[in-house]
Amino acid sequence: MEIVKLFNALPGACAQGFIWGIMAIGVYITYKVLDLADLTVDGTMATGGAVCILMMLNGHSVFVALLVAFLAGMLAGLVTGILHTAMGIPAILAGILTQLGLYSINLRIMEGKANQAISVDKYNLLISLRWVKGVPFYKNAIFTAVLFIMVIIAILYWFFGTELGCSIRATGSNPHMSRAQGINTNLCKIIGLMLSNGIVALSSGLCAQYQGFSDVNAGRGAIVIGLAAVIIGQVVFGKIRGNFAFKLLAVSFGAVIYYMVLQVVLWLGLESNDLKLFSAIIVAVFLAIPYLKGKYFAKPVKKGGASRA
């Protein structure tokens, strides 16, 4: 019976993993492409859901609600970018400041309430926890989340192939050389932060619909899950050669693997109160794997190799 419960819970974990995979793509843009530690996402992950749910409760369509949530996330990224570039505040501190301010803003968006619920029966949602099993494939939560991921990856693959996108990638790779080539690195950082937090807010809007409510604390610890997805995706799929689109897809699957492992561990008896601790351990382990492999399992250099070269 316990095995049956586990298998019944896996589709829900898979759907949730793909939704958070969208968020992980946003984290990848700052963490890997821009090489910035951005903690704004902990606040943006609550902002997107709050905006989306309140927009729908006030009569707007789900697509308009998601668009406004995306724009709200971009605005949060803009604030972090300005704090970092125009005011000289380190990126990690700028993200913390924005995240701190977003808590109060999120409460105002949700009309002073800690959470706002939305009914799948009364509103036309795109995705819902009820639609994991027993619904047509085009309405299935997993199908909807995967469709969003494919569209986002396609758009990002095109964007980062443009002149502006290449400038953002160059800024993250070598900001000094980029400035020497005439690239406005501050503008690239701001655009990258805006794009990243916009995607995170979009994921938050989908996540709030999936859960059926928005919560002011929804983003607490989100950066840990995002980093876990990025690191797991790199460790598991790192040896497969692929283009930029494949790397983004690997990040998405990293989030799915994370939630699958989480579901198995919960089934084995982990208390829900220990989830944050377990998440931190997962991130620490996967961050340490590349270092430990390089230090203890790297192939030794043959003697005389340097002289022959």
Taking the mean position of all CA atoms in its chain, how far away is CA 23? 2
> Is the pTM here over 0.75, yes or no?
yes
Strand 213-215 relative to strand 115-117: parallel, antiparallel, unpaired? antiparallel
By residue count, the chain amounts to: 309
Q: In Å, how far are 77, 184, 190 from 71, measured between CA atoms?
A: 10, 23, 14
Residues 131-146: tens digit of each pLDDT = 777 777 777 888 888 9
Gap between the Cα atoms of 167 and 170, Å rounded: 5
Q: In Å, how far are 12, 60, 267, 291 from 76, measured between CA atoms?
A: 30, 22, 37, 34
What does the DSSP 8-state code read for residue 300? P
Residues 254-295: tens digit of each pLDDT = 888 888 887 777 777 777 677 777 777 877 887 787 778 777
Q: In which residue are the tokens 């928005």 written?
A: 214
Q: Beta partners for 117? A: 213
Percent of all residues in the chain with a pLDDT value above 70, rounded to a whole number: 91
